[in-house]
Amino acid sequence: MSDKLKLGEEILANLAANQGKSHREKLLGDEFGLPRLIGTGDGRTLQVTKAIDDKITALADQLKAERPKLVKAITRKDFVSLVRAACGPILVELDLNLPFAETGAELVSGIEKAVNQQLAGLPRREHAFGVTLFGEPGVAPFSIGPVRFEDWDTWLTRKLSDGGLSATTERRLRRAWTGKKLSKRTPSMAASQERDVLDAMQRAPYVASVWIEGFASSAGLEAAATAVRLAVTTVALLWPTPSRALEGMRLRFDPSHHIERAVTFIPGRIVTGGFRMRGTPFGPSLKPEQWASSQAAVEPIFSAAGDAIALLTNPEDSPPRVGLLRAVLQSLMWFYAGCRELNDPIAIVNFAASLDALASGAQSEGILDVLKARLGWAPGAAFYTDGTTLKQVVEKLYGEGRSQLVHGTSKRIGYDWAAERAQAESLADRALVACLEFVAAHPKLDKAKALRV
């Protein structure tokens, strides 16, 4: 007997054992504290015990494990909800007087059929995020893999053209974006959509859009948001210090820039207040013509990064060049984390991890191989005017700045790591750009180890 059939039988046996018990009795020993209710599809609910709920969750885990292609397309939480929702209408129809092995199999079969129907009918979705990409609007639309960037005006025009927005909603959104007050709208789906767009975009000058297919709602939204974050990071790589550019490149979906405030007391003096800005409300200054003139040079970087980012939005887990692209994708993810990190030592850990991803985890020696292969930097050559070699820099960043911090053996906690952070970001930045250009120039390579030879 398979695990899922055994679970189906146990669910029915538990349900039968609890027939006739009061609501309070079904709650005994349940730390949740509230009745566990499952919809039956007819507007009513069925109360189940914690034991039954736990077995439904176990059944969901078993069914999801049997469908490895869903590993990226739906979260565990959403799949459990799907199975739970499928249970109710079936449970109320089953005869609890029949052998539980028989009705348990019928329960599992019904759940599988309902779940398969739901998964087969997942709609294609376009997720849109407001982004403070550049300081000025007007940059022509461009794409990095599955992510398309458009300024607000272009996006509104497209959404009107493809039917995503009505003419009235589009006109009112343009008016709201300029700061003009809108007249009250009659409650309707269009009015609700208008409010949702305004809340999501918050007058951001640019919109990032991602089409998602084959994903459930939560998994699709997270995949789209992550894709946009990494596409924005790819754009930031074009600036001398990407982390500074990213201070103003933010999704409205994510935490905004903010002011940090504190009050300081000094004995014998007046109380003083202080503040500092974290992030900026707008992206770096860039003229549309400057952007247009740079496209030929940045196309290889955008192409390779786009192929890597597309792994996130592809429900399949083994597209072409997956090994190489996974390394690039994970390097981008760690680099983004390093740029956003407030704490210098932790940022160094993230930047070192970005380098380590490009080196396939071959530690400091592997990182030196990447830097030599892709940038031509000799490990033993002087890297700074004081004679410090590249090997010494990398070993310090990887040893003191990564391994010791991760393993809890660092003796420099509380020290000033700002200089080392800048070094780590610079190395990771240069290596990532060089590797992206290499990946674009060699479309037939598929192994991550190619980045360091």
Question: Same structural domain for residues 370 and 300?
Answer: no
Residue 265 lies in a domain: no
51/200 Cα distance (integer angstroms): 40
Residue 266 lies in a domain: no
As for how many domains the chain has, the answer is: 3
The pLDDT value recorded for residue 1 is: 46
| Model confidence, pTM | 0.90
Residue 377 lies in a domain: yes
Question: Same structural domain for residues 204 and 306?
Answer: yes
Token pair recorded at residue 223:
């995949």
Residue 414 lies in a domain: yes
Question: Same structural domain for residues 114 and 33?
Answer: yes
Return phi, psi of residue 251, to 5°: -80, 135
Token pair recorded at residue 244:
């500074």
Closest CA to 173 of 163, 159, 186: 159
Show the beta-strand stretches assigned E in 82-226. 125-131, 142-144, 147-151, 206-212
Question: Same structural domain for residues 159 and 58?
Answer: no
100/210 Cα distance (integer angstroms): 47
379/89 Cα distance (integer angstroms): 67
- Angle among Cα 340, 346, 352 to the nearest 5 degrees reads 90
Position of tokens 């059944």? 59
Closest CA to 253 of 291, 200, 305: 200
Pairing of strands 272-278, 36-39: unpaired
Residue 268 lies in a domain: no
The pLDDT value recorded for residue 25 is: 80
Question: Same structural domain for residues 174 and 302?
Answer: yes
From the DSSP assignment, how many helices (H) and strands (E) are in the chain?
A: 17, 8
pLDDT along the chain (453 residues), means of 10: 86 90 81 86 88 94 93 93 94 92 94 94 94 92 97 96 94 91 90 93 94 93 97 97 95 84 77 74 86 92 97 87 96 97 95 97 95 96 91 92 88 90 97 98 94 95
Our CA dihedral for 446, 448, 451, 453, rounded to 10 degrees, sits at -90
Question: Same structural domain for residues 114 and 164?
Answer: no
Token pair recorded at residue 355:
């380098």
Q: Which of 76, 104, 120 is the last residue of a domain?
A: 120
Residue 249 lies in a domain: yes
Question: Same structural domain for residues 151 and 299?
Answer: yes
195: CB partners within 8 A, 6+ apart: none
As a whole number of Å, the end-to-end CA separation of the chain is 51
Question: Same structural domain for residues 362 and 382?
Answer: yes
Question: Same structural domain for residues 300 and 327?
Answer: no
- Angle among Cα 208, 436, 133 to the nearest 5 degrees reads 25
Question: Same structural domain for residues 338 and 244?
Answer: no
* C-alpha 266: how far from chain center: 43
411: left (phi over 0), alpha (psi -120 to 50) or beta: alpha
Question: Same structural domain for residues 106 and 152?
Answer: no
The pLDDT value recorded for residue 2 is: 66
Q: Which of 71, 100, 120 is the last residue of a domain?
A: 120
Residue 269 lies in a domain: no
409/351 Cα distance (integer angstroms): 19
Q: Which of 311, 328, 357 is the last residue of a domain?
A: 311
Instruction: Report which secondary-structure segment, H or E, holds 174.
Output: helix 167-177
Domain that holds residue 356: 320-453
Residue 267 lies in a domain: no
Q: Which amino acid is at 380?
A: G
Q: Which amino acid is at 187?
A: P
Q: Which string of b and e fits 264-301 if b means at least 16 CB within 10 Å?
A: eeeeeeeeeeeeeeebbebbbebeeeebeeeeeebebb
Question: Same structural domain for residues 107 and 130?
Answer: no
